[in-house]
Structure 1
Amino acid sequence: QVARSDQIFDANKPMLLELLKAWGFAAIDGGHFEDHPDIIRAGFNAAAKNSDTILVTGGASAGDEDYVSALLKSEGVLQTWRVAVKPGRPIAMALWDGVPTFGFPGNPVAAFVCALIFGLPALRVLSGQSHKRLMSFQVPAAFQKNKKSGRREYLRARLTDEGTVEPFQSEGSGRISGLSWATGLIELADDARDIKQGDLVTYIPFSAFGI
């Protein structure tokens, strides 16, 4: 069954356009593309003629209909794919017709985190700016978590009146309500860690990302 336009909600495009605006970049809205390789290829070609960098969300995983990563691999120059970060493992960094191209995950929270952690520093360097180390703070945790090893994790979080930091109640990367609730991100390193109440964790305020 074909969905009507009013049945599909786009959280990613408005979010990314506003982020780019806040960072001082001129963004061109390339629109939406059906999950068909010919249509996506045409979209890439058009974007490469009019843009210095291409940002796209969705289709970057390894499914049969994830054509973004497949096209970047077969017809572009795929540099990096699948990064050990949560949320956001399926992220593609490539060149399409010589233009730097980023394929972010389709889930809104993952797309947001990847834009901040990977997109912002890359865009700054590509535009001739310098990217400085992000401002962060060591703050007592107002939560407990048994973190597994293997991936760096970013949790939506906000500071409490008691001077601690608490994460959003759900780690689901589709829960966009957590983005408006949060005031920053908790960064947990790749190693395994058993976090207890009061342990110091790294907190990065959204202001460090210029938003």
Structure 2
Amino acid sequence: MRLDQQLISGMIAPGTRVLDIGSGDGALIDHLFHTRQCDARGIEIDMREVTRSVAHGLPVMHGDADHDLAHYSDDAFDYVVLQRTLQAVEKPREVLRQMLRIGRRAIVSFPNFGHWRLRLQMMFSGRMPMNTVWHTPWYETPNIHPCTIRDFLELCEAEGYVVDQWLAINEAGDRAPWRRSIRLANLFGEQALFLLRRK
């Protein structure tokens, strides 16, 4: 499992109902089921990943975060997870609204476009930056709404979401020691994780 998935798992209470949006190969769902006894299921847009997950006995459906969340009833889940997918959806604001309608809490992880290396790459090369998270050319990337930690917090404030927990990490696996400072986390954190709820 990726580091962000391990940290997400730690934010989820045992025995709860979880929907993982953009579940990929189902690694997080499998982990939650076996280690935290969660009723975990997923939605994935890539049919190959859905097939792979179902072949391993995981409850994953083919679906699209931008259109299919509206079919779920209010408070159907305790947690709704969006891992590294926020920047790839068409309407991030609406997806977050739906997540916090169908779930009591939302967990969101995303690559932080405000990281200092990305800033330097753009400044000195004049081209779209690439690293281990942003590793595809601009014309092939699924990332259509890149954001920074500060951008995300501003959206949460505008929408009235409560941030119960957040942290910034780097790809090497270290939790950023500056996680109490948004400005430093925005500069040095390669990935961000947020646990949200409605007021």
Normalised by the length of structure 2, the TM-score is: 0.33
Structure whose residues are more often helix by fraction: 2
Normalised by the length of structure 1, the TM-score is: 0.31
